[in-house]
Amino acid sequence: MVSQQVLSTAVSSKPVAEQPVLRESVASVERRYDRAGLWVAIVVTLGWHVAGVAPVVLDSWLRYGLGASGAVTWLVFAVLGIAAATTVLRGGGRGPVLPLAICPILLAGSVIGSFVAPDGVIGHFNWPFTVVGWFAVLALWRRPLAELIVFYAGNTMVGGAMLVAMGEAGRVSVARFIALCCGISALQITVFAGSRMVTAMARRGAEAEDELARTRAAHIAAEVVQAARRIRYETINGTVAYLLDGLANGQLDLTDRSARQQVAVAITRLRRYLVESDEVPDQLWHELQACADAAERRGIAVDLAAPSGLIPPLPADVRRALTEPIIAALAATAARARITVVASSDEVAVAILADAQLDSPPPCLHEAVESSHDAEGEMLWLQARWIGPSASPL
């Protein structure tokens, strides 16, 4: 039918603003898990260095003197560990500067420890060879796993060379050396790589959750848009469908004044519906401008005065109740009309003075809106007033 086609065009021609989709930062989740893994590495390194190595250094100091104890190396390692941990905790260490500044010193400390250890390369007092890897984990935390493996390979090669140079390369010593290298490096790589695996899993989980939230939000937004379009269609359908059907069937006589007023009311309402979802600072004033524009297109001289006072935000049903008397008066206006708005925080009054004749005043569409009218000769005065909940009764 003609009415259905016109209504479908009117509904689809007005886009509905979609709400932005709020998303959780996947990077934030990744940073939290990475920081948690880093703290695990820091605590393990600190505990190993203080609770495991410090007693060995003290025992060696008491037995063999300060030079053989490696106390200076222990202190240097502690300073390097603090520097590496502080830098990485602050988000640094992604470039090569930190590894290049710390790793050579760590390897040098491992060599010195093998030289001064009183019981040889793989002895109980050569702690730098086994502990150096934990500090490398901190220094290389932001770097690829391959660089940490290269460091372990370098430390192993240096330790093997020291084993040969010091004449300790027997079958049993080599076997113990290999087992020691595999044992300590496996534990350190597990902490390093395991933390990255957990972080990667957390990131993938956050991405999946974010994608699911996006999908749900898009689905909800689509339902909201569809519901808004359906409401708009039904509203417009109730406004103009019967008029269009009457015109199509020849049952509506446009020579009749009442029929022309009905058409004018329907056209003005339609223009008001189309601007109701516009994002403007003063929605009521914007809708009154649309009503005045519709009347001016019919040759009516409309004087829309600037609002007196600041119009508060009003829901759509209240705005419709305030503009409905104006629409009815404009539809009946012969030549000229003046619209005024007086507003405060808890009261809004919209009035029109026009050379119009109405058979009956329009009914109120909202319980918070009251209307009044008066006529003198050819002049008609109509007012719709909204009173807010906080306003005192007059």
What is the rounded distance in angstroms from the CA atom of residue 218 to the CA atom of residue 225?
10
pLDDT at 4: 42
Cβ-Cβ contacts under 8 Å for 46 (sequence gap 6 or more): 81
Token pair listed for 137: 């984990």
Domains of the chain and CATH, by start: 26-209 (no CATH), 279-387 (3.30.565.10)
Q: What is the pLDDT of residue 114?
A: 82
Residue-wise over 138-154: b if at least 16 C-beta within 10 A, else e?
Answer: bbbbbbeeeebeebbeb
Q: Backbone phi, then psi, for 302, in 5-degree steps?
A: -110, 125
The structure tokens listed for 122 are 């793989």
At 148, which helix (H) or strand (E)?
helix 145-165
CA-closest candidate to residue 337, choices 347, 321, 351:
351
Instruction: Name the token pair of 37.
Output: 């893994």
**120: pLDDT strictly greater than 80:** no
Q: What is the pLDDT of residues 64-87, one digit of tens each?
A: 888 888 899 999 999 999 999 999
Consecutive H or E run containing 339: strand 333-344
Q: Look over the chain and give the mean of its residue pLDDT values, rounded to a whole number.
A: 84
215-255 per-position pLDDT tens digit:
888 889 888 878 877 777 676 666 666 676 776 676 676 66
pLDDT tens sequence across 152-203: 999 999 888 888 888 877 888 888 888 888 888 888 999 999 999 998 898 8
The predicted-structure confidence for 10-32, as pLDDT tens digits, reads as follows: 434 444 333 333 355 688 888 88
DSSP 365-377: SSTTEEEEEEEET
DSSP output for 297-333: TTT-EEEEPPPBSPPPP--HHHHHHHHHHHHHHHHHE
pLDDT (tens digit, 9 = 90+) per residue, 311-356? 999 988 899 899 999 999 999 999 999 999 999 988 999 999 999 8
pLDDT at 268 over 60: yes
